[in-house]
Structures are given as C-alpha cells and as structure tokens.
C-alpha cells in the first residue's frame, strides 16, 4: 500500500498508474476520486489542483468479488473517512469533516417549479446558517425511494445535495397505494 493519503495525492497516483497502462485490475484496485464527485478526472484527465477550503468528495476502489468500497475525502487536506460499502455514506462522512453540524440541519422538499421557486430558495437561505451556501455547504432534501445519489454541485452555492428518504407516513396517499 502507498504511504500517502488524501484525495489529491491518491488521484495523482491513480493517474500515474493509468498513464503507465499497468495491469487493469491493479488500476481498479487503486483509490481514485469517484465518478462525478469533486476533483474527478477519469483515467486520463489532468490531476486536480488542491483547493483552499475543505471540500467534500469521495474515493473508490475495487475489492474482491467485484465489489467496490468508498471513502469520504477532502480536496484541501489529507483527511479520509472509514471504508464504506455505499458511496453516499462516504459522502456523508466527508461532510462531517467539511461542514460539521450538517446532520442537524432541517430537511426540505425539492424546489417547486415556476413561481414558488424563488420563495422556496429564500426560505431555505433564511433557515440555514448565514453564509452556509457561500461556504459550499450541503443542502438536505427529502426524496422518495428509489434513493437518489447524493448530488455534487447541486446546492445553491455549488455544494452537495444530500438526500434523505422521506418517512413513509409523510408520502402522498397515491404513492403509498402504489407501494402496496
């Protein structure tokens, strides 16, 4: 195992291995930034530059039995979370590092379309801490299963949208019927 850690260092190492075109399986088993997450480059992109503000992302690699494991990571420092089975858990760990307190924030429904959208945006900004979105803080939204992937870059300031399954009792009547 390599003696460095952190998203930037690992992505540099991964890209070096890709350029050398070493064994494909060895590349799959090397930590790299997950598809679509901050700092993602794919196998042949330019290495990501470190950023100043602690920024949540995730790492992934293949393990035995064609499974993949995931870890929260940061684009500003060498912090890494525990290995997780699900990418969304890793992203949540990363937010414990970058935006402590996010788990206590209120969870909203998605923005209505049309006229209500501006009021909705004003409301969430009023309820979340001042400067939260400017600091790339995540927005928490309810989602009906099947579960959406936490979405990079989709919050008002460019942070993540972190989804929570809506409690069953709160789902609209017609959807409950569909689930029966």
Give the x-and-dash track for 74-113 against Zn ion (CB under 5 A). x-xx-x----------------------------------
CB-CB neighbours of 141 under 10 Å? 21
Residues 93 and 81: their CA atoms lie apart, in Å, by 6
Q: Is 141 in the site for Zn ion (CB under 5 A)?
A: no
Interacting span for Zn ion (CB under 5 A) from 52-60, 132-140, 145-153, 170-178: 52-60
Q: Which helix (H) or strand (E) holds 96?
A: helix 87-98
Query: By Cβ distance, which residue is nearest to Zn ion?
Result: 74
- Closer CB to Zn ion, residue 7 or residue 124? 7
Give the x-and-dash track for 11-50 against Zn ion (CB under 5 A). ----------------------------------------
Residues 109 and 141: their CA atoms lie apart, in Å, by 5
6 Rama sector, left if φ>0, alpha if ψ -120 to 50, beta otherwise: left
Q: Is 51 in the site for Zn ion (CB under 5 A)?
A: no
Q: Is 5 in the site for Zn ion (CB under 5 A)?
A: no
Q: Give phi and psi for 26, each to the nearest 5.
A: -65, -35
- Closer CB to Zn ion, residue 76 or residue 143? 76
Contact (Cβ atoms closer than 8 angstroms) between residue 140 and residue 164: yes
Contacts of 163 (CB under 8 A, 6+ apart): 88, 140, 141, 142, 143, 147, 148, 149, 150, 151
- Closer CB to Zn ion, residue 79 or residue 160? 79
Among 12, 13, 28, 54, binds Zn ion (CB under 5 A): 54
Interacting span for Zn ion (CB under 5 A) from 31-39, 71-79, 113-121, 150-158: 71-79
Residues that bind Zn ion (CB under 5 A): 54, 74, 76-77, 79
């Amino acid at each position: 195992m390599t003696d460095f850690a952190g998203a930037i260092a690992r992505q540099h190492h991964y890209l070096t291995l890709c350029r050398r075109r070493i064994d494909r399986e060895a590349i799959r088993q090397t930590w790299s930034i997950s598809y679509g997450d901050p700092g993602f480059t794919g196998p042949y992109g330019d290495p990501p530059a470190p950023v100043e503000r602690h920024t949540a992302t995730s790492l992934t690699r293949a393990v035995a039995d064609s499974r993949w494991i995931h870890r929260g990571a940061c684009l500003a420092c060498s912090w890494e979370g525990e290995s997780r089975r699900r990418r969304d858990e890793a992203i949540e760990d990363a937010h414990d590092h970058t935006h402590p307190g996010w788990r206590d924030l209120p969870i909203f429904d998605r923005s209505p379309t049309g006229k209500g959208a501006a009021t909705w945006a004003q409301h969430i900004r009023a309820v979340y801490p001042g400067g939260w979105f400017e600091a790339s803080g995540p927005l928490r939204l309810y989602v009906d299963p099947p579960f959406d992937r936490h979405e990079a870059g989709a919050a008002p300031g460019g942070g993540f949208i972190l989804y929570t399954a809506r409690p069953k009792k709160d789902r609209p009547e017609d959807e409950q019927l569909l689930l029966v």
